[in-house]
Amino acid sequence: MHYQFETIGTIHSCFKEKFGIPRQPGLATEAEATLELLPPYNQPDTLQGLEGYSHLWISFVFHQNINTPWRPMVRPPRLGGNKKVGVFATRSPVRPNPLGLSVVELVGFDRSACRLHLKGVDLLDGTPVLDIKPYLPYVDAIADAKGGFAPHAPEQSEIEVIFEALAQQQLAEISGGKLPQMMRLIQQLLQLDPRPAYMNNKPQQREFGMHLHNFNLRWRMEGKRATIFEIKQVAV
């Protein structure tokens, strides 16, 4: 059976590529996005009353996985990337239908422009949105729920994040007065260690890059230390 859905909105996110996006929402509280409603759904009436909620469920399409074949079993990074479990027992981004669901913080919105300002996202820039629903703590927050092989947030890694002076200066010049927030976001993302799971225990020094907001970030990993050595503006 096939069903057709309409995209009701688009995510404009700080994440311009998949590498570096947290594996779940809420893990990088400074990860910002704007959800822009599209015609004919961009009617301010549709948002009437939304200001009463602090969090939203966003249903979306993994648009960059559309052609990635799904497998009945996957290797969750949480299990070190080598143990297999069933695809329905994970939040693998590759699944039979590329439908995602994330709970995100609603930090503000412009009703007339039909744009919602979100934080704590795990969504790639350009992600199509299929639905928005308010998060209802009395039904959605189940304190004694069992969390399978992911019963709690990933251990806060002891990765030390260091900005070389030049990189911090480069960020200050392009962050539009939001240097502290940008530094906090970068700190949060690197402490989540975006490297593939198999690299975690290989302490060799490596250089990595990530396209965030309007800049490319480059850092060196040496053991548990991440040193940011270059931040370059990307022509939009």
Which of these ranges, 48-56, 98-106, 168-176, 220-228, lies near ligand SAM under the rule CB under 6 A?
98-106
Q: Are 189 and 22 in contact (CB under 8 A)?
A: yes
Instruction: Read off the tokens for 120.
Output: 């704590």
Instruction: State the nearest-atom distance from the C-beta of 151 to ligand SAM, in Å.
Output: 16
| 64 near ligand SAM, judged by CB under 6 A | yes
Query: Minimum distance between the CB of residue 93 and ligand SAM, rounded to whole angstroms?
Result: 4
Q: Using the rule CB under 6 A, is 132 a contact of ligand SAM?
A: no
48, with CB counted inside 10 A (0-12, 13-18, 19+), is exposed
- Report the amino acid identity of residue 161: V
Q: By C-beta, is 13 or 187 nearer to ligand SAM?
A: 13
Interface with ligand SAM, residue 10, by CB under 6 A: no
Instruction: Decide if residue 91 touches ligand SAM (CB under 6 A).
Output: yes
Stretch binding ligand SAM (CB under 6 A), from 117-125, 136-144, 165-173, 204-212: 117-125
Residue 7 lies near ligand SAM (rule: CB under 6 A): no
Residue recorded with tokens 């996005």: 33
Quick check: helix, strand or coil at residue 65? helix
Among 7, 17, 24, 184, binds ligand SAM (CB under 6 A): 24
Which positions ≥6 away from 92 have C-beta within 8 Å? 74, 76
Is 65 within 8 Å of 151 (Cβ atoms)?
no
233 contacts 174 by C-beta, under 8 angstroms: yes
Decide: is 59 part of the binding site for ligand SAM (CB under 6 A).
no
The 160-179 site mask, x for binding ligand SAM (CB under 6 A), equals --------------------
DSSP β-ladder status, 32-37 and 115-119: antiparallel
Phi/psi of residue 46, nearest 5 degrees? -65, -20
> Can residue 31 be called a binding residue for ligand SAM (CB under 6 A)?
no
Peptide bond just before 77 cis, omega within 30 deg: no
Of 22 and 114, CB closest to ligand SAM: 22
| Interface positions with ligand SAM (CB under 6 A) | 18, 21-25, 62-65, 91, 93, 100-102, 122-124, 127
